[in-house]
Structure 1
Amino acid sequence: MSMEPPLNVMDPLPSLLSKMISCTSTGMKTLLLDPSTTQSVSVSLSKTNANAQELYLIDLLGKPQQAVGGMKALIYVRPTIENVEMICREVREANYSEYHVFFSNILPESFLSLLAKSDSDKLIRQVHEYPLDYVPINKDLFTINIGGSVGMSQCWGTSRERGVQTIMERELQGLLSMFLSFKKPIQTVIASAEPACQYIASEVIRRSQEDDIYVFRSSRPTQLLVVDRSSDPVTPLLSQWTYQAMVHELLGMNNNRVILKGAPGVKQDLEEVVLASVHDPFYDANKFSNFGELGENIKGLLDEYQKETRQNQNISTIADMQRFMERYPAFRSQSHNVSKHVALMGELARLVDVCQLMDVSAFEQELACTDAHAEHLRELVEKLANPSIKTPDKVRLGLLYALRYENTGNVSMVKQHMSNGGVPPDKIALVDTMLRYAGSKSRAPGLYGKRDTFSALKKNLISSVQGVANVYSQHVPLLAETIKGAFRGRVPEHMKAYKGGGELPKDLFIYMVGGTTYEEARMVAEFNRENEKNGLRVILGGSTIHNSCSFLDEVRAL
C-alpha cells in the first residue's frame, strides 16, 4: 500500500502562502496580487489567518500605492509580461522598503532580466516560482477560471485557431502547474478525439519531457484524462438540487461570492456573501446536501445559535461578562454565518416556487434519462405554452428535447412552439447552434446509448425504495462511465492513449476542456468517498465551472 497521502486540491496553496510569508523577516507586510491569484488566495486565506501572519493589507498589483515607510511588500502573481512590467514600475517607485516576489508558474529568463534591470536600489530581496496556476474549489475540484474555452475547442484545428491560442496556452499552463504543485509525474495521458483535447495531451507530454522540473518519483500510477464538454451537453442544462450546485445555478457563484442584492427581505450586510469551505465549516459539510436535507440542517444551525444566544443573555457577574467578551468575536461570526445560510435558503426556496422548478426539473430528468418521444413531446408543448414557466427554463427544455430527439423527433415544430411561448428568436437559434456543437454527429458517442435502459430501471428502483424526491436526481453525468472505464483500463474507442499504459491508475486527473459543473464535482466527491479504502482518487478540473447560463453564453458565442 502506498504511503503517499491522498490528493487534496485545497492543500498546496495554504502551505505555499505560509512559506511566502514566513520567508520574510517579521513586521507588517502588504500582499499584492493580480486578478488570477486573488481568486486562488480568496479561497485559501481567511482574514483571521492574514492578520495572524502580519498581513496588513491585501491589494491588487498596479493599483496606486502610498509610500509606507518600513513596510514590506509580498507580490504573488502570474508570470505574464504585464505583471512583470507592473512589478518593475512598483520597484522603481519604491513604495515599500523591500519586495519579495513570487510567481504562480514558471518564469521565463527574459522576465527575470527585466526585474533585475529595474531594481537599481536592490529592493527585491528574493524571487521564487511557486507553481499553482489554478483555483482550488473543493478538495477534488479545481478550475483554470478562463472563459471562452467552448469556442476555443471548436476553433482548434481550423483556420480560426490563431484567434484562440491565448486561451489554449492559459489552459496548458494551469494544467501543468497542477502536476508541479502536487509533484506528480505525468505517467499516462489519454485524450478524447477532439483536436483541442489531442493538442493538450500532446503538449503536456512534450513540455513535461523537455524540462526535468517535471521529473518526480511516485509509487502511485497517475493518469491524465482530457475530455471535451461537448461529449455531455446535458449535465450543464439540468436544474440542480444540492447546495453548492443549486446556489451556482440559481444565484451564480463567482470566486465563491454570491450576490443577494435585490432579493426580497435581504439585509444590507448580506447583499454579497462568501461561500468557501476554508471559511465556513457548515458550507463545507453541506455543499453536497440535497435541498430537503439542507433545510433540516440549516434549522439545526439556527437552533444551536438560538441556544447560544439564550446562554449569553444570562450575564449576571463580572466573570460572565469576561467570558462573553472572550467569545464575542466568534459569536459575531456565528451570527453572520447563520444569517447568511438562512438568507440563501430563503432565496433558493423563493426561486424554486416562483420558477416552478420542481415541475420543470422532474421533466428535465425525464428528457435526460428516458426515451418516450410521444409522451415527452406532449408535455413539452404544454410547458412551452405555460406562461408561468420562465423563458430560460423553456429554452433548456427545448434544448434537452433537441439533443435527445435530434434524429427521431420534430425539432422544427418544437422551435415553433418555443416562439409561440414567448421565447425570443436569438434564444431559439440556440437549438441549431447546440446541435452543431454537440449534436449526434459532433459529440463523442455514449451520451444516451445503452444508458437509457439502465436509467429507466434505476428510476423505478429509486422511486420505489428511496422516495419521490429522487425523481430530481435520476441523471448520472456521462463522466461517471468514463471514470469507471479508466480505473478498469478500458479506453473508449474515440479516445487515444498518448503516453504510458499497462498499469491501472490509482490517481486520475480529469481535465474538461470547455468547463465542468458542480454536479460532476459532486459525483467525483461521491466516488472518492466510496473508494477511499481502495486507494483510488479522482481530481476533476475544467476551464471554468458552468451553470446553465454561462454554458449557453459560450455556446451562443459560437
Structure 2
Amino acid sequence: MSFSDSGSYSNGGDHKSFRQITRERLLYEMLMPEKNGTPMKVLVLDNFTLKIISSAAKMSEISQQGVSLVELITRRRQPMTSFDAIFFIQPTESNVNAFLSDMTGKSPLYKKAFVFFSSPVSRSLVTLIRKDMRAMKRISALKEMNLEYISMDIQGFVTNNENALEDLYSDEENHQRADECLNVVAKRIATVLASLKEYPFVRYRGAKALDASTMTTYRELIPTKLAAGVWNCLARYKQTIEDFPQTETCELLILDRSIDQIAPLIHEWTYDAMCHDLLKMEGNKYTYEVPSNSGGDPEMREVILDEEDPIWVELRDVHIADASERLHEKMTNFVSKNKAAQLKHSSK
C-alpha cells in the first residue's frame, strides 16, 4: 500500500455533480439503445440495484432509453421472447443462477441478454456462466459496471450497509463478520471512485498502542483494514478499467468516530435534519394530508425533497431558525403576487 505525502488533483474539465455522473453512467453507458441493439428492452434488477438506479434516475428517463418494463430478478416473470433484457445485478451466486435460469431451457424469457454487474465478478461466477453454453449463445454483453452505491444528493452517497455499526462495534466481537462487512464497504467506496475516475492517495488513521504491552484491538484497526480493502480494489481497477488514472489524482481520508467524539452528542439543527426528525419521511419522500374539495376524507399527497425542488436545495443546509424566516418571506411574497392566494387568505 502506498501512502505518499505529496498529492495532485484531477485535471477537472466540465463540472458535473456526483448524482449527474451516476445518472449518466446508468442511462448512457448501460441503457443507451444504440449500444444494446433493439429500441425496446426489459430492465432486470435485484433489490439493491433497484435502489441504486432509483436514487439516480427517474422512470421517465429510463423509459426514454428504450426500456419498456422494469422487473425484479427474484420474482417470477412472464416470457418476453421478442425483447432483449438488460440485467443490472450484484455478482452473487443466487443472482447468477437466476440469470442462467432465465436464459436457458426450451423457452428462455428473453431474446438476448446484456449483463452488467454492479461490482467485480469472482472467477468462480465467471466460470459458472461460461460453462452454460446455452446461456452464452444469448449473452450479447457481459460487463462490470462498478457502480454499487446509492447517491443521496448532488454530493453525497451511502453504501447502504445497515448493519455496519453492529458488525464492527458490537460488544461481542465477531471478526469474520466484521471483515465481511469491511470488504463490502471497501468495495462500494471503490466503485464510487471508479465512477468518478479518481485514483486517490489513501490516507487513514493508524492504530496507536499506549505502550508496548498494550494490545491493539480490532476496533482500532478498522480504518487500517478499510483503507487496505479500498486500495486493493483500486489496484485492480488500474488494470481493468479503461482510462482509469495510473497515478494518484486526489486524496481519500479514512477516519473513525474517535477523531470527533463530540459530533454524536450535538444535535443537527439544519432544515434537512429537522425534516427527517419531525416528519414521517421515507427516504426523501414526504406524505401529507390535504382537505378534500368535496368535503370527504382528506386526500394524501406526496412530495419528493431532492435537487428538483429549488427551495429544498436552497434551505436544506440552513439552520432551522434562518430557514423559517426565509420561508416566511417567500410565502409573504407569494401571497402578495398571487391573486388566488390572496382570495384564499382573505376568506380566512
Letter in 2 for 1:78: Q
Task: Note the residue ranges of structure 1 that are not aligned, 5 or more in a row.
Answer: 311-558
Letter in 2 for 1:13: T
Which has more helix, going by share of residues?
1
Match of 2:85 in 1: 73
Paired residues for 1:353-364 under 5 Å: none
Give the drift of 1:120. Answer: 0.7
* Counterpart in the other structure of 1:143: 158
Match of 2:229 in 1: 203
Provide the TM-score with structure 1 as the length reference.
0.48
Asked if 1:285 corresponds to 2:311, the answer is: no
Give 1:230 deviation, angstroms: 4.7
Which structure 2 residues correspond to residues 382-401 of structure 1 after superposition, within 5 A? none
Question: Could you give the per-residue CA deviations for residues 433-459 of structure 1, whole angstroms, max 9, x where no partner exists?
Answer: xxxxxxxxxxxxxxxxxxxxxxxxxxx
Counterpart CA distance in 1 for 2:239 and 2:47 is 26
Structure 1 position 20 matched with structure 2 position 30: yes
**Pairing of 1:393-412 with structure 2 (within 5 A):** none
**Structure 1 position 175, deviation (Å):** 1.5
Instruction: Please state how far the C-alpha of 1:292 moved relative to its aligned partner.
Output: 4.2
Structure 2 residue runs without a partner (length 5+) = 1-8, 208-219, 341-348
Q: Give the Cα separation in 2 of the matches to 1:42 and 1:89.
A: 26
Q: Does residue 133 of structure 1 match 2:141? A: no
- Given the superposition, is the C-alpha separation of residues 247 and 236 from structure 1 closer, same or farther in structure 2, using an over 3 Å criterion? farther
User: CA 1:138 to 1:166, structure 2 compared with 1: closer, same or farther past 3 Å?
Assistant: same
Partner residue of 1:41 out of 53, 77, 96: 53
**Equivalent pair of 1:179/1:185 in contact (CA under 8 Å):** yes
C-alpha deviations, 1:510-544, integer Å up to 9, x for none? xxxxxxxxxxxxxxxxxxxxxxxxxxxxxxxxxxx
Please show how residues 221-260 of structure 1 align to structure 2 within 5 Å: 221-232=249-260, 234-251=262-279, 253-258=281-286
Q: 1:90 aligns with which of 98, 102, 110?
A: 102
Change (3 A) 1:44 1:292: same
CA offset digits 1:476-509 (Å, max 9, x no partner):
xxxxxxxxxxxxxxxxxxxxxxxxxxxxxxxxxx
Give aligned pairs, total.
Answer: 307
C-alpha distance in structure 2 between counterparts of 1:124 and 1:211, whole Å: 24
* Equivalent residue letter for 2:140: R
Superposed, 1:427-446 pairs within 5 Å as none
Distance 1:33 1:255 in 2: 20
Q: Which residue is equivalent to 1:111?
A: 125
Q: CA deviation at 1:252?
A: 5.9
State the Cα RMSD in Å. Answer: 3.6
Contact persistence 1:68–1:96 (CA under 8 A)? yes
Look up the SS of the partner of 1:102 in the other structure: strand
The answer to whether the 8 A contact 2:83-2:110 is kept is yes
Shift of 1:12: 2.8
Q: Tell me the distance in 1 between the aligned counterparts of 2:335 and 2:30.
A: 37
Give the equivalent residue in structure 2 for 1:3: 11
Q: Is the 8 A contact 1:91 1:119 kept in 2?
A: no
Per the TM alignment, residue 98 of structure 1 is displaced from its structure 2 partner at its CA by 1.9
Note if contact 2:182-2:225 (Cα within 8 Å) is conserved in structure 1. Answer: no
Q: Once the two structures are aligned, what percentage of the paired residues are identical? A: 22
CA contact (8 A) 1:244 1:288 kept: yes
* One-letter amino acid matched to 2:201: Q
Describe the shift of the 1:208–1:240 C-alpha distance in structure 2 as closer, same or farther (beyond 3 A).
closer
Give TM-score scaled by structure 2 length: 0.74
| Counterpart residue type for residue 82 of structure 2 | G
Deviations 1:314-358 (A, max 9, x none): xxxxxxxxxxxxxxxxxxxxxxxxxxxxxxxxxxxxxxxxxxxxx
- CA shift for structure 1 position 174: 0.6
- 3-state SS of 2:56 partner: coil
Distance (Å, rounded) in 1 between the aligned partners of 2:30 and 2:228: 33
Match of 2:217 in 1: none
Give runs of aligned pairs for residues 44-55 of structure 1, distance below 5 A. 44-55=56-67
